[in-house]
Amino acid sequence: MQSVAEALASMMPAFSPLGEEEVPLTSAAGRYLSRDIHARFDSPSFNNSAMDGYAVRAEDVEGAEKAAPIRLSVHGESRAGGPLPSMLQPGTACRIFTGAPMPKGANAVVIQEDTGRDGDWVDVFEASTVGKHVRAQGSDVRADTLILKAGTRLLPGEIGLLASQNIARVSVYERPRVALLSTGDELRKLGDTLEPGSIINSNVYVLTEMLRAIGVTPVPLPAAPDSLPEIEAALESALEADVVITMGGVSVGEYDLIHEAFKNLGIEPGFWKVRIKPGKPLTFAKHGATPVIGVPGNPISAMVSFEVFVAPCLRKMLGDSEPHPQPIRARLREPYRRRPGRVEIARARATREGDELFVTLNQRQGSGSMSSFVGVNALVILPADRGELEAGDLVDAILWGSGICSADSFFESLD
How far apart CA 216 and CA 9 sit, in angstroms, is 21
Would you say 94 or 247 has its CB closer to ligand AMP? 247
What are the strands, taking DSSP E only, across 30-104?
A: 37-38, 48-49, 53-56, 70-78, 92-96
Told to check if 278 binds ligand AMP by CB under 6 A, we report no
Whole-number minimum distance, CB 33 to ligand AMP, in Å?
35
Minimum CB distance to ligand AMP, residue 208 (Å)? 11
- Residues 375-396 as b or e (16 or more Cβ within 10 Å = b): ebbbbbbbeeeeeebeeeeebb
Task: Answer for the pair 167, 141: CB distance below 8 angstroms, yes or no.
Answer: no
Residue 298 engages ligand AMP in binding (rule: CB under 6 A) = yes
* Partner from ligand AMP, Mg ion, none binding residue 230, C-beta < 5-8 Å depending on class: none
Confirm or reject binding of residue 48 to ligand AMP (CB under 6 A): no
Which of residues 44, 279, 296, 319 is near ligand AMP by CB under 6 A? Answer: 296
Shortest distance in whole angstroms from residue 249 CB to ligand AMP: 5
Based on the shown chain and the rule CB under 6 A, indicate whether residue 123 belongs to the binding site for ligand AMP. no
Q: Is 369 in the site for ligand AMP (CB under 6 A)?
A: no
Closer Cβ to Mg ion, 55 or 224, answer by number: 224
The answer to the question of residue 202 lying near ligand AMP (CB under 6 A) is yes
What is the distance between the terminal CA atoms of the chain, rounded to a whole angstrom?
A: 56
In terms of DSSP H, where are the helices of 248-325?
Answer: 258-264, 299-305, 311-317
Site for ligand AMP in 208-267 (CB under 6 A): 247-251, 256
Choose the contact partner of 162 out of ligand AMP, Mg ion, none; CB within 5 to 8 A by kind.
none
Candidates 85, 103, 297, 319; binder of ligand AMP (CB under 6 A) is 297
Beta-ladder partners of 344: 277, 382
Distance, in Å, from the CA atom of 87 to the CA atom of 106, rounded to the nearest integer, reads: 8
Residue 355 CB: number of other CB atoms within 10 A?
Answer: 5
Decide if residue 283 touches ligand AMP (CB under 6 A): no
Residue 199 vs 228, nearer CB to ligand AMP: 199
Which CB sits closer to ligand AMP, 119 or 253? 253
Q: What are phi and psi of 219, to 5 degrees?
A: -125, 85
Tell the smallest beta-carbon distance from residue 370 to ligand AMP (Å). Answer: 8
List strand residue ranges (DSSP E) for 25-133, in order.
37-38, 48-49, 53-56, 70-78, 92-96, 108-111, 115-118, 121-124
List the one residue from 96, 106, 124, 187 that touches ligand AMP (CB under 6 A): 187
What residue ranges bind Mg ion (CB under 5 A)? 184, 248-249, 297
Determine whether 130 is exposed, middle or buried from the number of CB atoms within 10 Å of its CB (0-12, 13-18, 19+).
exposed
Q: Could you tell which of ligand AMP, Mg ion, none binds residue 186, using a CB distance below 5 to 8 A set by kind?
A: ligand AMP
Give yes or no for a contact between 343 and 380, defined as CB atoms under 8 angstroms apart: no
- Nearest-approach distance from CB 368 to Mg ion, in angstroms: 12
Q: Which does 85 bind (CB under 5 to 8 A by kind): ligand AMP, Mg ion, none?
A: none
Phi first, then psi, for residue 57 (nearest 5°) are: -100, 125
Residues that bind ligand AMP (CB under 6 A): 182, 184, 186-187, 199, 201-204, 247-251, 256, 296-299
